Structure 1
Amino acid sequence: MDTSTPLRRFLAEFLENRVAVAAAVVVVVILLLAMFAPLVAPQDPYDLSGLTLRDARRPPGFVGSTGIHHLLGTDAQGRDLLSAILYGLRISLEMGLAAGALAFVIGALLGTGAAYAGGRIESLIMRIVDLQLSFPAILLAFVLAALLGQGRGPLITALVAAQYAYFARTAHGSAAAERQKDYVEAALSIPLSAPRVVLRHILPNCLPPLIVVATVQVAAAVSLEATLSFLGVGLPPTEPSLGMLIANGFQYMLSGRYWISIYPGVALIILIVAINLVGDQLRDQLNPRLKR
């Protein structure tokens, strides 16, 4: 008889996939570096008093009078690129996690609420969700970000508006199946209030597929933020997000100063790929029918 807990079995199965474990380690390391960026970064890229144009566009591993400086080089403003990437990872993760969490809550409540209500309310909510899903997320986010202006608040609003429909569709599919089960009918016969039935009985059973969607959408939010910042409608130039760092160095690519754009781009790719690999493993474990 297997006496191990479901959590232990889940972790044991996760640890069997070396690729997923390596990706999880990368995600954790990036999270720690982002959290403690002020402590580990060689320079504060926000401190204008510490910047000088004499250090602008230094190559990687620049050797000065006191040894090697700027391991990854500097950008056009003279900021140490390693420091800017660490702070950029911090901003990108903050935006991705904030947008993903808000989209998760809004989409999950809309999807489960629609499945519980049924009838015209369900049809109206899901038609709106389906209409939004028919548009590319990047197009919707770009239009909203351009209308709302630059800044963290407007950008998070644009990202949430572009992503909540994925959670709503997933939550509705799971909640519609749960709504027909006996335990929900028993809860309704007591009777319990609608919010209590949705929050305590239906929504918890919809969490596994929503968790999988959340990992994918956090990576998508990071990618969307970088894209919007690169296009000039995301974060302002004073905040060195990864997308802004790539944009700042793009004009210098043809002159041979590749590091200004390449290194932030590599950091962005590593972050997105690692999150997606973890999400793939969670998908395989939480929904064995999709296991490859």
Structure 2
Amino acid sequence: MTNFWRIYRENWVAVVALAVVVLVVLAAVTAPLFAPQDPYDLAGLDLMDARRPPGYEGSGGFVHWLGTDAQGRDLLSAILYGLRISLQMGLAAGAVAMTLGAALGILSAHLGGWVEAVVMRVVDLQLSFPAILLALVLVAMLGQGKTQLIIALVAAQYAYFARTAYGAATAERQKDYVEAASATPLPGWRVVLRHILPNCLPPLIVVGTVQVANAIALEATLSFLGLGLPPTEPSLGMLIANGFPYMMSGRSWISVYPGIALIVLIVAINIVGDQIRDQFNPRLTR
């Protein structure tokens, strides 16, 4: 771990990106403590404060540093709470998709035969469709809600983990130490868990980092289209959508600030993922 961090900090851009991710996570976790308003409390909103510019002092007695949206929500508070939703959806969907995809990919490589053929053909078929299209169909069928949204995100992303795990497990299965372990009386599940899985984790971690960012972007897209979470729990995508009709009327802050927060989060996670990928690349020379 010490060696990993020593190499990681050589890239100052990746260090800044990691710091941004950490700060965003801390801001999202501590949002109820520092946000001046609870944007989910509809009873606490005042329409007289709607569409006010940044720096406006509202009826609640505090300054709306980033302005308010069309419902009178304090944008700073809404963004902090929206980041919580984005991170929750991204991490939950990424963890479930990684677990499911890794299990399918590694078992397919280990068992082979018809299991490998069926699972991998299904995975290849799904990879041929855009993730956004599949997510749109599933959300439209399942309805709105966090559970339904996570299911849609997992269904749209597990195939990437399955293909990655299958490729890594296939390469590991042909190595001498796995063949030696398989020749012993050890049960198959111990060979998979103790020998194949640990060596498949580096590429899965890299894909997982990227897919968390993709899940956040996909959730924001669905929310922007009105198919994400309910209006009572506005995410960053919904905040952008709420301000879109006012972009040409001089009230661009309603969409711009949530958009900036979303872009910064996704770009920072992708930079961290790229650096981790480079460090796990055995062909990388330093």
Name the TM-score, length of structure 1 as normaliser: 0.95
Counterpart in the other structure of 1:193 = 187
Aligned to 2:227, which of 233, 250, 260?
A: 233
SS of structure 2 residue aligned to 1:98: helix
1:13-32 superposed matches below 5 A = 13-32=7-26
1:235-250 superposed matches below 5 A = 235-250=229-244
AA aligned opposite 2:239 = L
SS of structure 2 residue aligned to 1:237: coil
Is 1:115 aligned to 2:106, yes or no?
A: no
Is 1:38 aligned to 2:52, yes or no?
A: no
Counterpart in the other structure of 2:266 = 272
Moved more, 244-253 or 64-73: 64-73
Q: How many residues align?
A: 286
Is 1:59 aligned to 2:49, yes or no?
A: no
Query: Any conservation in 2 of the 1:61–1:68 contact (CA below 8 Å)?
Result: no
- Give the fraction of aligned pairs with identical amino acids, expressed as a percent: 73
Q: How many Å apart are 1:112 and its aligned residue?
A: 0.5
Counterpart in the other structure of 2:65 = 71
Query: Any conservation in 2 of the 1:285–1:291 contact (CA below 8 Å)?
Result: no
* 1:64–1:131 Cα change, 3 Å: closer
AA aligned opposite 2:25 = L
* 1:235–1:67 Cα change, 3 Å: closer
| 1:171-206 deviation per Cα after TM superposition (whole angstroms, max 9, x unaligned) | 000000111112212222222222222122101100
Counterpart in the other structure of 2:142 = 148
| 1:46-92 deviation per Cα after TM superposition (whole angstroms, max 9, x unaligned) | 12232110111110111469987100000111110000000000001
* 1:194–1:103 Cα change, 3 Å: same
Query: Any conservation in 2 of the 1:283–1:290 contact (CA below 8 Å)?
Result: no
Counterpart in the other structure of 1:96 = 90
- Which segments of 5 or more consecutive residues in structure 2 lack a partner in the other structure? none
AA aligned opposite 1:13 = I
Taking the aligned partners of 1:290 and 1:134, their CA distance within structure 2 comes to 30
Q: How many Å apart are 1:132 and its aligned residue?
A: 0.4
- Which segments of 5 or more consecutive residues in structure 1 lack a partner in the other structure? 1-6
Q: How many Å apart are 1:119 and its aligned residue?
A: 1.4
Taking the aligned partners of 1:263 and 1:20, their CA distance within structure 2 comes to 24
Q: How many Å apart are 1:95 and its aligned residue?
A: 0.3
Structure 1 runs (4+) greater than 4 angstroms displaced:
63-68
AA aligned opposite 2:240 = I
Counterpart in the other structure of 1:283 = 277
| 1:151-180 deviation per Cα after TM superposition (whole angstroms, max 9, x unaligned) | 001110000000000000000000001111
Name the TM-score, length of structure 2 as normaliser: 0.97
Query: Any conservation in 2 of the 1:85–1:267 contact (CA below 8 Å)?
Result: yes
| 1:219-238 deviation per Cα after TM superposition (whole angstroms, max 9, x unaligned) | 00000000001111111111
What CA RMSD, in Å, does the superposition of the two structures yield over aligned residues? 1.6
Taking the aligned partners of 1:159 and 1:181, their CA distance within structure 2 comes to 34
* 1:66–1:111 Cα change, 3 Å: closer
AA aligned opposite 2:86 = S
Aligned to 1:133, which of 123, 127, 131?
A: 127
Taking the aligned partners of 2:12 and 2:66, their CA distance within structure 1 comes to 29
Is 1:158 aligned to 2:152, yes or no?
A: yes
